[in-house]
Structure 1
């Protein structure tokens, strides 16, 4: 097949064309708009296809370009319409603007404080992961020279002028790590909060920073070796100007719009910021460096915190979805597979592409070996550091545009970068599954814990109000030095767009000692939540140990992070806030619909027991002398609820009233196993009779050890014959004005007709039948509620549609 050649008429390069009176927008605008729309459509299509494989968006965009690049060598209607030769310069200019804005946002979200505080081990791993690939990369380039010498013009320039530069840029692209891409991969694989994820994220920050420094130093030498020294000096002067002159001026103007807690900046300031990015890009280009260096440095020196959040909220969606994909698409479009296929030793080329993944892994394994890191973890870190990002593509495109790398060399390295990044999530997900490591700790319930053992609780919240409520519940758990309480307070942060800065914050303490004016809204919220939880340990003389953490992920998958953390920390209880809060009229109303979905997802596959707390008045739990009501019907959830209530009753001043509700006659009638809509009932994991024996044993132990030895605990029994009597008894119990109801989510008669009828009318099935009744507006109770589900007891689905069934009627797991 003949090689396709594109020639440009001289008029395209006429510097005066922009001043001509001809209809430029009419001539060039429609084609440019069509190309942008086509690129975005193709990139998003590939993104949705690759999303189940945990692939970053960048990979989908490059792959889309590669796929379309295969069509360039053919003469078809699509190429003539969307990718004509006369439109390449325009879309290339737009792509350059997109990558400039993308890099500006990357600099804006980076925080050098986190980089300067990393440990020596992470720095050593990062440096070794740069030096060893740099040396091995040059060796691989020598191999490429030997293999691909036919025809020589495909690999080298005619006079061999750029050979030394080719060695440098080829190896430099191999050494860098894409920190934003790696952070998103770890978040997607739910490994961000494991030891592997934290080590890889810390090392990647150092590696990415070193990669930018090497790029800034190396890029002047790509233009003119004689003036490279002066270009480097000019860049140093420019960076100093940005830090010591531009930064204070911008901070002064930005702070004028941030005198209050709310953001008061207008779009005019945003326009000034954008103009500054273009000006800095122009300056660094004039100094002999790359134009993206100016945008990156400018974003890096701008004040961070609420202002950076404001700018990213305004620009992120448009830049990441409508602008930067054109650059990555163009990078894939430049790859020429047909040229490689015509090489004599093309099978060895394929081998070289895969072998280029070895240097980074080898350097990491050697360093981690000396630090005593297990081989499996060292291999996992090395694979993760192979994640490439925008910097690697910028290096390669720079070398391509300035004719430092040829078609063959450029294509080999782009393919290697693509293969390395696409294999990272697949291999890491296959060889490193943290859920298996904590499998032996899954059977954790409070019922089986001794009273004198440490109770580990994971408590997650979405706002400070929920954190205050959770802290009050935890304070009633009767933590002592003999029976301590270990609390992991987690703030859930929704991952929207580019949240690399938030992800990076997880390797350090969630809050930093900084003025409130320098903190973003999410950081201020995290600091307030952290302080609320930490106040527990300060008031209990060490009986409560507190850890705080931010979890950043999409709300659709954030429950997997919670479950993974609970397994890792070996918690016995996950304490969750209810998705409804009290309004000014005293009624419960939905405050966050995402919280409801998170709670339901965790209840489906929790690694330990779970409790949902419904706050009915912020002052109801502020006293130490709480009045607690515990209705006991039977079953594992009620036994778990009793274990929690028993712990609270041991707290000085608290009073517990335990009422055993005995089901008789109609209330005890069981539904037929094959009735329509209740197939899941017939597959109950534990027999009712065995549950009844466990209930009797639990009640006897409670009465003997608790009631008879503690005057603050009372025990009584009530008989229920039908649903009306159950509601009547609950009304009677609520008349005593208790502060807190503790109820199991299910009951011993999970398949009783009475409970099935109640479930059909449940507004909040995640609370169970008793919990839904107590919190309903018609019931009229003002008591707070703690609904408990024991590990392994998924007794009540949220709807019949949530549990598909097999043809034999058993539950489909």
Structure 2
């Protein structure tokens, strides 16, 4: 381009650019012109000497964002298709590594002009990446519940300390004086930096890894999280000691006083102010917007303050994030507003551009030197291999001594040895502070890329989380004898479900002299937290004046428990991601050896039962997930209580068990038998007989059907205080779904509760022509018909599914 062309500069000056007379200096007017006058600018200007569109800041930024976004998503999608569970952040780094060698292309190539412009103008994509870096650390602090530290067990504390200290001791023995004097190609500072970074286990990186591996809701995942938090705290303490040991005492004292003062301001000023904001925010109302923006501004000030102290600046926004009260309304608002945008759009820029610094030609030369045990890469790899091997070995020992299986102990050591985003950030900071050479950064960046790519795949194939939900015993109501101990897990998603659960227990079970053990699990969506919480209200009592996640549930069931002293009630709260709520339910059901899980239907009706007031799709997915692999029998309760006259002092509750045949129908009969022990319950068994034998049970299943029916009718008499309780038995022959619908419509207003198996009538004439109209598969065909808007009944419906699989030892 001819920069001395007068006509060109006459046109360009109007866009905000100019050049000196001798053509040596390129000037830019303020404010900067960030966008072009159009795609065809170069062709519209005289002599076609205009600027191309990507030479302007805004189009260049947009082009970079689009290219980076498309590339890392393509890599992530490709790895996912070949079933390699590589985290998203690793895909972002792989995208940067893939494009790093475009710097070797000729300068006139389009990619070169976009990613490596040769002018001195501010690099807007790099600046936005730095913005994302600060935001990431702040949000990671917000999502961490500091209270987890108080719940950390002694085994996690020991493992967390060992996994950091012992690799450092090993490296000190192996490398000795090299930590001070340095080696042939690496300085002493580089030795110390690499040893320290390979020894630590960063909590934020570990928590993101186990979340990507989908094991954060397991007991194993919680143990790893607790251990990582202790390890991270140990690493911080060692770092503080190292600063005082290797720096001038005046400088280190100044840094220490500055950081200590910052922490005191956070704890004694900012934290109380944030709690005051939460206190004055009405419950279930959002925090005022200006509070959120003030906190965001403070996070950037904190970054600059720590940078001024020559301390790792990311600690500033991270500590501020820790001071933000977790969960709603403040912590969750910050995460919901900024997490997706920052992680999906801006953070890839931060991870992308450092990977562009990888020096490919130098790397090839260093690989050749490895054969001669020489070179800068050889020294760096020696440090990495020695420290990583000792870390894996020593981390495996404490869990093994605590009787954790060998495979799980080894997987735990691999997780704690994984390197990712946090380590990358620190090494970039070290390059900026000139304590790490740019060539050394190439080596450590590739090792981090290798670790974050390979280790998740190895962990995924070594640790099978689904095995922990396998049940080796029959746990269903059909196998329970009448009068034996019954363990039921009742799930609650919303306060509106409380009345339905309590009414169901009071009306349909004999609570006066009962062997019923009821476990109530309140499920709350995880928002604004990094790690899930599981609270046992028998072990952790709510403190007066503190906000509780389950206040309404606790009050309601405490009252219920004190009124019905004959039954056992235990209360739990699970705060987790809806995608994994079913795992929390499985874990509690297995731990308590429950025979039945009762789930509330995702729809809630108004008091007069005419209007749907809530239709929660997320809760429906939770129910479907539970039904797919539950370790015991499951029931979905559609609570639509009929209005009872106040003059009716001892109401009679009429229950209809619909029976066609199959294991789910047998389970429905079994729960009907247990209800029959309540003298206020009148049970009717309605057997629907298909006109043909197509799809009907045969052989052993048919024998079990007949035996269960006879058993139910044989228990017709249940004498209690001179009263008799009878089972009414009805049979109806049906030719297709229309007959089924007609029969059920005729008795719709007669019963207070319908109990039906989920698979009832499937594949038979009973449901023919009804399958196509099914809206909710989790209820089955007949269950869906009973809750449909066309069905004129206001009674409740319980859809039952018997335990699906029992594993063999």
CA shift, 1:274, in A, is 1.9
2:536/2:572 contact within 8 Å kept: no
In the aligned structure 1, how far is the partner of 2:535 from the partner of 2:470? 25
In the aligned structure 2, how far is the partner of 1:377 from the partner of 1:508? 29
In the aligned structure 2, how far is the partner of 1:643 from the partner of 1:223? 74
- 3-state SS of paired residue (2:476): coil
* Equivalent residue runs for 1:321-340 within 5 Å: 321-340=344-363
The 1:65–1:137 alpha-carbon spacing in structure 2 relative to 1, beyond 3 Å, is farther
Moved more, 183-192 or 653-662: 183-192
CA shift, 1:313, in A, is 2.0
- 2:42 match: none
CA shift, 1:117, in A, is 3.4
CA shift, 1:125, in A, is 0.9
- 3-state SS of paired residue (2:102): coil
1:43/1:329 contact within 8 Å kept: no
What do the CA deviations read for 1:608-627 (whole angstroms, capped 9, x no partner)? Answer: 32211101138779999633
- 2:515 match: 483
- 1:112 match: 146
- 1:241 match: 265
Find out whether 1:744 has 2:757 as its counterpart. yes
Match of residue 424, structure 2, among 390, 393, 406: 393
2:717/2:726 contact within 8 Å kept: yes
* Equivalent residue runs for 1:88-107 within 5 Å: 89-107=123-141
Match of residue 635, structure 1, among 662, 675, 682: 662
Find out whether 1:82 has 2:112 as its counterpart. no
* Equivalent residue runs for 1:275-674 within 5 Å: 275-305=297-327, 306-343=329-366, 344-346=368-370, 349=378, 356-437=387-468, 439-441=470-472, 443-474=474-505, 476-478=508-510, 483-487=515-519, 489-493=521-525, 499-501=529-531, 503=532, 513=542, 519=547, 524=549, 526-529=550-553, 532=556, 537-541=561-565, 543-550=567-574, 552-555=576-579, 558-559=581-582, 562-563=585-586, 566=589, 570-583=593-606, 586-587=609-610, 589=612, 591-617=615-641, 626-651=653-678, 653-663=679-689, 667-671=690-694
- 3-state SS of paired residue (1:734): coil
- 1:763 match: 775
In the aligned structure 2, how far is the partner of 1:441 from the partner of 1:285? 57
The 1:176–1:758 alpha-carbon spacing in structure 2 relative to 1, beyond 3 Å, is same
- 1:14 match: none
What do the CA deviations read for 1:222-279 (whole angstroms, capped 9, x no partner)? Answer: 9877522321222112222232234344544x258x3422435333222222221222
- 1:787 match: 799
In the aligned structure 1, how far is the partner of 2:27 from the partner of 2:501? 64
Give the TM-score of the pair, scaled to structure 1: 0.80
> Unaligned regions of 5+ residues in structure 1, if any?
1-10, 12-16, 672-680, 795-813
1:635/1:746 contact within 8 Å kept: yes
The 1:368–1:637 alpha-carbon spacing in structure 2 relative to 1, beyond 3 Å, is closer
In the aligned structure 2, how far is the partner of 1:360 from the partner of 1:22? 53
Moved more, 103-112 or 346-355: 346-355
In the aligned structure 2, how far is the partner of 1:624 from the partner of 1:134? 73
Match of residue 703, structure 1, among 702, 707, 713: 713
Moved more, 172-181 or 623-632: 623-632
- 1:186 match: 210
The 1:239–1:40 alpha-carbon spacing in structure 2 relative to 1, beyond 3 Å, is same
In the aligned structure 1, how far is the partner of 2:336 from the partner of 2:442? 36
- 2:294 match: 272
In the aligned structure 2, how far is the partner of 1:727 from the partner of 1:241? 69
CA shift, 1:765, in A, is 3.7
In the aligned structure 1, how far is the partner of 2:659 from the partner of 2:790? 22
User: What is the total number of aligned residue pairs between the two structures?
Assistant: 738
What do the CA deviations read for 1:125-184 (whole angstroms, capped 9, x no partner)? Answer: 1011110122345567789999x97xx5xx43xxx5xx1x32332122123324344334
2:586/2:630 contact within 8 Å kept: yes
The 1:782–1:174 alpha-carbon spacing in structure 2 relative to 1, beyond 3 Å, is same
What do the CA deviations read for 1:417-473 (whole angstroms, capped 9, x no partner)? Answer: 333333443233322324335545264322122335443434434322124423443
Structure with greater Cα Rg: 2
The 1:467–1:397 alpha-carbon spacing in structure 2 relative to 1, beyond 3 Å, is farther
1:216/1:293 contact within 8 Å kept: no
* Equivalent residue runs for 1:95-244 within 5 Å: 95-137=129-171, 155-156=185-186, 160=187, 163=188, 165-215=189-239, 227-244=251-268
What do the CA deviations read for 1:388-432 (whole angstroms, capped 9, x no partner)? Answer: 454322221121222222345433333333333334432333223
1:215/1:395 contact within 8 Å kept: no
The 1:281–1:449 alpha-carbon spacing in structure 2 relative to 1, beyond 3 Å, is same
1:396/1:410 contact within 8 Å kept: yes
1:285/1:291 contact within 8 Å kept: yes
RMSD (Å) for aligned C-alpha atoms: 3.9
The 1:280–1:246 alpha-carbon spacing in structure 2 relative to 1, beyond 3 Å, is same
Match of residue 690, structure 1, among 681, 697, 700: 700
- 1:803 match: none
The 1:21–1:471 alpha-carbon spacing in structure 2 relative to 1, beyond 3 Å, is same
The 1:468–1:342 alpha-carbon spacing in structure 2 relative to 1, beyond 3 Å, is farther
1:660/1:717 contact within 8 Å kept: yes
1:460/1:576 contact within 8 Å kept: yes
The 1:284–1:762 alpha-carbon spacing in structure 2 relative to 1, beyond 3 Å, is closer
- 1:712 match: 725
Match of residue 38, structure 1, among 67, 81, 106: 67
CA shift, 1:337, in A, is 4.7
Find out whether 1:55 has 2:86 as its counterpart. yes
In the aligned structure 2, how far is the partner of 1:141 from the partner of 1:329? 33
